Amino acid sequence: MPTMATDRVTEPTSLAAKLPDETLRKWLRDMLLIREFEVRSMQAYQNKKIGGFLHVYIGQEAVAVGTIAALKDDDPLITAYRDHGHALARGTEARYCMAEMMGRIGGCAKGKGGSMHMFDRERKMFGGHGIVGAQCPVGTGLAFATKYEDEVINSGRSRRVTLCYLGDGALNQGAFHEAMNLAGVLDLPIIFICENNGYSMGTAIARGTTMAEDLTAKALAYGFDSASLDGMDLMAVYDGIKPVVEQCRETSRPAFVEIRTYRYKGHSMSDPRKYRTKDEEQRYEAMDPIERFSKYLKAKRGFTPEANEAMIKDVRKEIREAIKWAEASPEPAPDELFTDCYTDKWGIYRGTSPPTMYDP
C-alpha cells in the first residue's frame, strides 16, 4: 500500500524548486488538463460516446507529468493501457486523443486503437498497450534501438533514455521479468517505472505480489539501481526521477523506480470499487497532487488565486473544444477496415496511411 506522505517543502535541495515559474506553471496546467480530460472522458463514456474499456488516470497525474518533465524530446516512452496522461503530458493534443476514444478518423490512431492505444510517432510515444506487462519487452526494444542507432549506426555513444511504465499488477507477469533480465544483460538504457497504485483491478498488491512492502527488492534481484518515490507529490517525483534519468543516460545501465500513487476511480468504468474503503479513498483524496502543487505555487511562486482560476477556465475551454472537434470528426470510412493491416497492397488489403494529426 502506498504510504501516507506528509506535506513537505523541499526547497533547499529540490531540483524542481530551481526551475523557472513558467516551467512549473506548465506542469500544473498539464496536470489540470489531464484531470479535466479524464473527467470529461468518463462523462462521454457514460453517454455512450466512448465504448469498450476506459481506464482513467485521475489521481496519478503527478507521475506522468513529473517523469516526462525529466526527459528530452527524443527519449522514447511506452506504457500500458492507463495511457491518456502520458500521451497528453508528452504533448499529443487532447482533440486527437478524444477523437481516438470516440472512434473517429481524426484520432491519433485513426480510431482503430481506442483508449488503450494512444500512439504518437513524432513525440516518441510508443503506446498504449492492452496486455498487462507486454509493453515491458517492447520497452527493452526501444532502448535497444536507441543504443544501436547511437552506437552502431552513428558510431557515437548511447545518449537516450527509455521510460517503460507498468502497474503493480505487471510485476507478476513473466514478460516483466524477462524484460528486466534482458535489460540487465544487454546494458539497456531503460528505466522501468512501476506506478504502484496498490491494486491490480480488484486485487490489493499484498495478495498478489511477493515483497509488496518493498518493491525495490525486484530491482535488487536484477542488480539494478532503484528508488521509491511519493507519486502524490509532483516535485518529489521530478526530484527523484531526474538523477536516475541522467545516470541512465550516462552509464547506459537500466534502473527500476517505484512511484507510489493512487487512482481515485476504479480500475475501469465498470468497477464499483468494493475492494477499497471509503475511508482509504478519502485519505488519498486529501493528498490530491494537483491541489498540493497549486498550493506550493501560490505560496512560493506568486501564483495568485485569480491566475489559478484563469488557468482552470482555460483548460476547461481547451477540453470543451477538443470534445467538439472530436465529435465533428467523421467515423473512419469502410475502406479503413482494410488499411494498415500490411504496409503493402495485396489481396483485400489496401496498404497503409498515417493519421491526419500529422497533416500540415
Partner 1 sequence: MTRTIEFRDALREAMSEEMRRDKRVFLMGEEAAEYQGAYKVSRGMLDEFGPQRVIDTPISETGFAGLSVGAAMAGLRPIIEFMSWSFSLVAADQILNNAPKMLYMSGGQFPTPIVFRGNNGAGGQLGSTHSWCVESLYSNVPGLKMAVPFDAYDAKGLLKTAIRDDNPVFFLESERLLGVKGEVPEDEYLIPLGVATTRRPGGDCTIVSFGRPLYFCLEAAGVLADEGIECEVIDARTIRPLDIDTIAESVRRTNYCVVVDQSWPFASVGAEVAAQVGEVCFDDLDNHVIRVHNENVPAPYAYNLEQEMLPNARKIVEAVRAITYNA
Q: Which residues bind to partner 1, rule: CB under 8 A?
A: 76, 78, 107-113, 117, 119-121, 126-129, 131, 134, 136-146, 148-149, 151-153, 174-175, 178-179, 181-182, 185-186, 339-344, 346-347, 352-355
The residue whose grid cell reads 540487465 is 184
Angle (CA) 290-284-241 rounded to 5° is 60
The nearer residue to partner 1, 4 or 131, going by C-beta atoms, is: 131
The nearer residue to partner 1, 59 or 189, going by C-beta atoms, is: 189
Cα Rg of the chain (Å, integer): 20
Read off the C-alpha cell for 187.
546494458
The nearer residue to partner 1, 185 or 286, going by C-beta atoms, is: 185
The nearer residue to partner 1, 113 or 289, going by C-beta atoms, is: 113
Q: Minimum Å distance from CB 17 to partner 1?
A: 35
Alpha-carbon distance of 237 to 258, in angstroms, equals 10
Closest-CA residue to 273 (of 203, 169, 195): 203
Q: Minimum Å distance from CB 95 to partner 1?
A: 15
Mapped onto helix, strand or coil, the DSSP state of residue 193 is strand
Q: Is the Cα torsion angle 295, 297, 302, 306 positive or negative in sign?
A: negative
The nearer residue to partner 1, 27 or 119, going by C-beta atoms, is: 119
Query: Cα-Cα-Cα-Cα dihedral of 257, 258, 262, 266, to 10°?
Result: 90
Amino acid at 12: P
Closest-CA residue to 82 (of 201, 191, 190): 201
Instruction: List all residues 6 or more positions away from 346 whose beta carbon is below 8 Å from its beta carbon.
Output: none
Q: Minimum Å distance from CB 152 to partner 1?
A: 5
Q: Minimum Å distance from CB 308 to partner 1?
A: 36
Q: Minimum Å distance from CB 73 to partner 1?
A: 15
The nearer residue to partner 1, 23 or 358, going by C-beta atoms, is: 358
Q: Minimum Å distance from CB 146 to partner 1?
A: 7
